[in-house]
Chains A and B, each alone.
Chain A
């Protein structure tokens, strides 16, 4: 069964600093991977996705993520964070069997220091 691990429950960075959120997945084949962001009291917004091809994918709001098969990782990065990036970030995987069932990591809460 697929699983996703986000090792960092809470990360604090200063505004303008770079950011990397970690995500490791467990799946027998190449998975489809997603990063979602959730602001307080809101639903989930898709930041980016990886299906195949180029392992570095670009998303909205200046985010990017790199798929590394050898490390079973799909880490999210941003070169310079803004105060508005404070939110909870979720990595998710869906299997290739065709099910519309997203399996989520536990999430990483991002705090931005001014």
Chain B
């Protein structure tokens, strides 16, 4: 099975622009989560999508948004880019085997990430 695929791998933007990152989950996985990784803040949860609906959200401003398509592929968008948005953005997918507390047992598999540089 192919792993989680993120495109593009590298991206350079300027302040004020917007950017869209793409994530294709492992085949059969229905949940997609996004994380931001920076040297200062480490790995932080952005949001999670399941069945085209945002199921969980982290503490990020509204400039960060996402969506999920019917084939489980997901995109995240950052509008009005700031210098501080420079980061590695990681996508993870999981099978979502069951709901409730068992949901937490779904292992998340990560892609290689998209490195965003904002100049």
Contact = CB atoms under 8 A, between A and B. Distances in A.
Nearest to A105: B42
Interface stretch (A13-21, A44-52, A61-69, A73-81): A44-52
A100 B102 contact: no
Interface in B89-109: 90, 92, 94, 96, 99-109
A99 B4 contact: no
B77 interface: no
The 3 closest A-B pairs by CB, nearest first: A98-B103, A43-B110, A104-B43
B56 A101 contact: yes
Nearest to B98: A98
B34 to A, nearest CB: 11
Contact of A95 (B4, B42, B102, B104): B104
Contacts of B104: 32, 94-100
Given A96-B101, A102-B92, 12 more contacts: A36-B110, A43-B110, A44-B92, A46-B107, A98-B101, A99-B55, A100-B48, A100-B50, A100-B55, A100-B56, A102-B45, A105-B42
Contacts of B94: 100
Interface in B1-54: 4, 6, 31, 33, 35, 42-45, 48, 50
Interface residues of A, number: 27
B107 A49 contact: yes
Interface residues of B, number: 33
Interface of B: 4, 6, 31, 33, 35, 42-45, 48, 50, 55-56, 58, 90, 92, 94, 96, 99-113
Nearest to B33: A100
Interface in A26-68: 32, 34, 36, 41-46, 49, 51
A97 B99 CA distance: 10
A90 interface: yes
Contacts of A34: 107
Contacts of B113: 42-43
Nearest to A46: B107
A103 B99 CA distance: 19
Contacts of B102: 98
B58 A101 contact: yes
